[in-house]
Amino acid sequence: MEKARHPLPIHRTRTAQRPAPPESSQQSTVGKPSGIKSSIYRPGIFALCFLVAAVALYGSYIHLLFASSRDIRNAQRVPLAAQDILHRCASLRAPPGPPANFLERERSDRFEPGTRPTLIKNVTLWTGARNGTEVVYGDIFLDNGLVRGIGYIPEALYEDRDTDVVDAHGGWVTPGLVDMHTHLGVLSMPVMTGALDFSSQHGPIQPWLRSIDGFNTHDEAFALAVAGGVTSVQVLPGSENVIGGQAFIVKLRKTSQRSPTSMLIEPPYTLNGSTPDPDSPARWRHLKQACGESPRGYGNRMDNMWALRSAYTEARRVRDAQDAFCARAEAGLWNEIEGQSFPEDLRWEALVDVLRGRVKVSVHCYEAVDLDAMVRLTQEFKFHIASFHHAHEAYLVPEVLKNTYGGPPTVALFSDASRFKREAYRGSPFAPRILTDKGFPVALKSDHPVLISRYLAFEAQEAHYYGLPPHLALASMTSVPAAAVGLSHRIGILREGADADVVLWDSHPLQLGATPRKVWIDGILQVGNDSDHILIGPGKTTAEWHEPPEVPDFSVEREAAVEWAGLPPLTSNHTVAGRVAFQNVKEVFLRESGDDVGVVQHFGMDPNAGMTHVIVDRGRVSCVGPVCEGEGRNAAVKIDLRGGTIAPGMMTFGTTLGIEEIESEPSTGDGARFDPLSQDVPKIMGDLGGLVRADDALMFGTRSALEAHRAGVTYATTSFARSPVVLRGKFMGGLSATFRTGAPHALDRTAIIKPITALHISIGRQPPGPYTPQGAGVSTQIAALRHLLLEGEDPRTQTGEWFKKAADGAIPLVIDVSSADIMATLIRLKSDVEEKRGTYMRTVFSRATEAHLLAEEIAHARIGVILSPPRQTPFSWDDRRILAGPPLSNDTALSVLLKNGVTVGLGVWETCRVPSTRFDVGWAILESNNWINKRQAYELVSTNLEKLLDLQGWVGDMGDLVAYEGGSALDFTGKPVAVISPARQLVEIL
């Protein structure tokens, strides 16, 4: 179709009209005097007529003279580039969005030649349409990189073509997941100095920076994210700048060009300097802003808001100059802009587009003070914020967010990650539900690598567990983020003409451990090739796996979160010292008595078995089984678990829970420590190694500890060995302590289980980053450990005493290590020490990312392993050789270690994830393809940890049990309602 052109205004110069000659030859004879009198008047009449004619002629001349002069002044000199100028001015008003006939396209712009059509038969298709309520049963046909048919597919579309046919057997199919907050490609895995491109150090305002200019196509996290069903991501700059730069939307399929640009979805015309067609819609651009704590390197909140206002003032000046320029050009007043070029400034052009409503602005913001400030900014400069990210207090101030200029924004949240910063302290897992009830679109995101993009689906699953309805939970990782970035016409919703980004799941996507069987991007299979022979989802054949899980009711807790401004009371409702009867119990797992510590399943082995009863007297289980019903009649309290579970209280390991409340706030923790390999230890300590004890720094009654307790994690073993993401450079991790998470204070009789549990050190290569100070090399660390174990320091010092005990096997030596190469060296060192000292060392590898590579050797050396976190990620060079698990491998690190006879426990990296420990355990069962049973799973976070940390006699059969209402402790059906505590001789009602 011929494109309409904007005609140039035509300005004509007027020409003077020649005056008519006097009609002297046509004299009238009417009334003409006769005779002498007539002759007397004739000369006077002629003179008068001549005078009048002369005056008229002179007047006409003067008029023509001035008119010609004015027209000369008004003549416009039209520049040669006038048409281009008018096109550019017209393009400023072109609204962003797809062409009206976009879904009628025949081929995707991302189509790869040679891609075969694909027919997926017998699907249960969640399309994402109709606010996430549309489900279609039938088939889906992919061709030319597009969805070409949904529901009934005529055979004529594919029967005569070389078509791949997949039978889904009724499995769930969804759009590819959209992660709208990641740093994929700009904070690549494994993290290396040469690829740290996520934040600039050159000032608070950087709108001219572009994440695509630092996008590393070799990031190993791409394939892992796709294995989790994530097909499209927004790649944001970091949050250390108030304006970090421009973001871009990327598909995670590596293209035949192998370039960053070819991975982009609808890149803006400004990316390559092309001129947009004024008759076609503009493309959305994307920008990252931040407020609050993250950009404090450039000043406090007042400084940073002033920086924003100053930047937008500059952008407004440029925009106003452009508008004035275009107004003159479009009015044809070319002389007034003669010699001028179109007003622009490359530094501010992105912000000018923000003011024109052509940019999807993502704002990293947590607290009410910052959210309110950003809303005021939008009102002052009249621009819209597409999405607030993190926004931990958004659920407390919904009416504030509704005042955002242009309408309410999307709110992009974690499901349940709080208290890692002061501004995140009031975060709530109920925020997604609260905000959707208030009418806000809610997206779940990863902030990869803060959380791992591969596990985006878990964020939606957990949000559903805490009350987000199923259709909105699914939308939160598909259609909502797609709409928030302006691309819902092609991703996030499956319909004819949309991009062929499709995920086939092994169960309902909101079930714990839901795993993609196959993933297509642009109609090209990325995961799930049958030739890989990966076993995915065995045992997920019963009906309940193909429905959303039935989750508990958290309405009371949800209301309390708002009422108490995010800090509701966490103490128990009451305690019962007498008899408590638990009714309608479906599963019972108890701790074994005696020396052989373990977990015994007393009820629930038979899936067809009914419910049973459990009687507890003074905190100890006295009766299990249907015969106990009569004994419960005189119980002080009766609790109906409605098909629930009683299981061991879990233990967490690997975080600083109890010695640090807010990770980024030193004032809430132990403070600075001295590491002997990087600094001199103060002489007053009298100890060259500077070894310290965690029990000296324990804090009780913290929100993190009480949240863990209420989630069924009743014990914690804590040391100073920090997550390598934050601090790999510290060699000495100190002496850990084991304590009860629900204890009120250190002097409570059962608060501290074991004051000195294990000796901890960290050995490994230090990943780069602004939060990791330089530490000693691996060889130096090994040499120091060899000296401490063989020759030793003075046994009268703390370092000398406890390293001698570790060498003698009197205390476990827990080594935080990731690399298999370093583990091999440590195994040889252990053998040397044992041979020379004639002892047996109780050695444990924690973190142990690459332990599966040495599973047989670790078992032979009788070394235990604590996998922390339970699912490995190639974060650093030491972590690069992971065993990813289904759908990328049949085995996981956990299953390989267990198959080789290694005693394994599970730990956690981040304190904020401790309440999800039981989900990690249930997930581990599913990832092992059910090679691990429930009894073994409970042992991973209870009795196995007790064995590894020499806690058998300190916990044992006196360990806590937790009662879960409504279902299992290892999936999304159960809710902790009581803690059964033999050591305290009571039952605590939560």
Which whole number is the average pLDDT over 378-400? 98
Q: Is the pTM of this model over 0.85?
A: yes
Cis, bond preceding 869 (omega within 30 deg of 0): yes
Q: Is residue 864 helix, strand or coil?
A: strand
Which whole number is the average pLDDT over 762-791? 85
pLDDT at 970 over 70: yes
Angle between helices 778-786 and 820-837 (to 10 degrees): 20
What is the C-alpha to C-alpha distance for residues 308 and 300, in angstroms, rounded to an integer?
13
| Nearest to 585, CA basis, from 936, 989, 967 | 967
Q: Is residue 624 helix, strand or coil?
A: strand
Q: Give residues with Cβ within 8 angstroms of 3, minimum separation 6.
A: 277, 279
What is the C-alpha to C-alpha distance for residues 229 and 242, in angstroms, rounded to an integer?
32
Residue 407, amino acid: G
pLDDT at 579 over 80: yes
Region class of 124: left (phi > 0), else alpha (psi between -120 and 50), else beta: beta
pLDDT above 70 covers a percentage of the chain that reads: 89
Instruction: For Cα atoms 516, 521, 527, give the angle at the middle one, nearest 5 degrees.
Output: 35
- Would the CA dihedral through 947, 933, 464, 452 be positive or negative? positive
pLDDT at 362: 98
Which whole number is the average pLDDT over 228-246? 97
Query: What would the two tokens of residue 718 be?
Result: 């804590």
What is the C-alpha to C-alpha distance for residues 883 and 889, in angstroms, rounded to an integer?
7
Q: In Å, what is the CA distance from 812 to each residue of 419, 689, 759, 840, 845?
A: 31, 18, 6, 11, 10
Confidence class of residue 13 from pLDDT cuts 50, 70 and 90?
A: very low
pLDDT at 44 over 80: no
| DSSP for residue 916 | G
**Three-state SS string across 176-242, please?**
CEEEEEECCCCECCCCCHHHECCCCCCCCECCCCEHHHHCCCCCCHHHHHHHCCEEEEEECCCCCCC
The residue with tokens 């305002």 is: 205
Does 539 or 433 have the greater pLDDT score? 433
| Nearest to 164, CA basis, from 143, 138, 146 | 143
Confidence class of residue 597 from pLDDT cuts 50, 70 and 90?
A: low
pLDDT above 90 covers a percentage of the chain that reads: 80
pLDDT at 12: 35
Which whole number is the average pLDDT over 273-297? 87
817 forms beta bridges with 847
Does 187 or 46 have the greater pLDDT score? 187
Angle between helices 820-837 and 798-808 (to 10 degrees): 90
Confidence class of residue 7 from pLDDT cuts 50, 70 and 90?
A: very low
Which whole number is the average pLDDT over 246-262? 96
CB 210 within 8 A of CB 272: no
pLDDT at 344 over 80: yes
CB 786 within 8 A of CB 793: no
617 forms beta bridges with 579, 620
Q: What is the pLDDT of residues 443-467, one digit of tens each?
A: 999 999 999 999 999 999 999 999 9
SS3 content of the chain, % helix, strand, coil (to 5): 35, 20, 45
Q: Is residue 529 helix, strand or coil?
A: coil
Q: Give residues with Cβ within 8 angstroms of 574, minimum separation 6.
A: 989
Confidence class of residue 773 from pLDDT cuts 50, 70 and 90?
A: low
* Top mean-pLDDT range of 187-201, 360-374, 673-687: 360-374
Lowest-confidence segment of 382-386, 653-657, 900-904 by average pLDDT:
653-657
pLDDT at 659: 95
What is the C-alpha to C-alpha distance for residues 517 and 503, in angstroms, rounded to an integer?
8
Q: Is residue 499 helix, strand or coil?
A: strand
pLDDT at 390: 97
CB 651 within 8 A of CB 591: no
Instruction: For Cα atoms 396, 402, 405, give the angle at the middle one, nearest 5 degrees.
Output: 135
What is the C-alpha to C-alpha distance for residues 931 and 927, in angstroms, rounded to an integer?
9
Query: What would the two tokens of residue 621 be?
Result: 């289980």
Residue 207 burial (CB < 10 Å; 0-12/13-18/19+)?
buried
Angle between helices 456-465 and 917-927 (to 10 degrees): 130
The count of C-alpha atoms lying within 13 angstroms of the C-alpha of 702, restricted to the half-sphere facing its C-beta, is 25
Mean pLDDT score of the chain: 90
What is the C-alpha to C-alpha distance for residues 471 and 174, in angstroms, rounded to an integer?
12
What is the C-alpha to C-alpha distance for residues 6 and 330, in angstroms, rounded to an integer?
10
pLDDT at 92 over 50: yes
Q: In Å, what is the CA distance from 655 to each residue of 720, 897, 942, 952?
A: 8, 23, 16, 21
Q: Is residue 316 helix, strand or coil?
A: helix
Q: In Å, what is the CA distance from 717 to each residue of 180, 766, 942, 945, 950?
A: 35, 24, 11, 9, 12
Residue 544: how many CB atoms within 10 A of its CB? 14
Q: In Å, what is the CA distance from 504 to each residue of 177, 181, 704, 917, 972?
A: 11, 23, 37, 27, 21
pLDDT at 23 over 90: no
CB 787 within 8 A of CB 818: no
pLDDT at 299: 94
pLDDT at 208 over 50: yes
Q: Give residues with Cβ within 8 angstroms of 931, minimum separation 6.
A: 895, 898, 899
What are the phi and psi torsion angles at 144 (to 5°)?
Answer: 55, 30
What are the phi and psi torsion angles at 296 (to 5°)?
Answer: -70, -10
Q: What is the pLDDT of residues 639-670, one digit of tens each?
A: 999 999 999 999 999 999 999 999 889 899 99
Query: What would the two tokens of residue 900 be?
Result: 């080789």
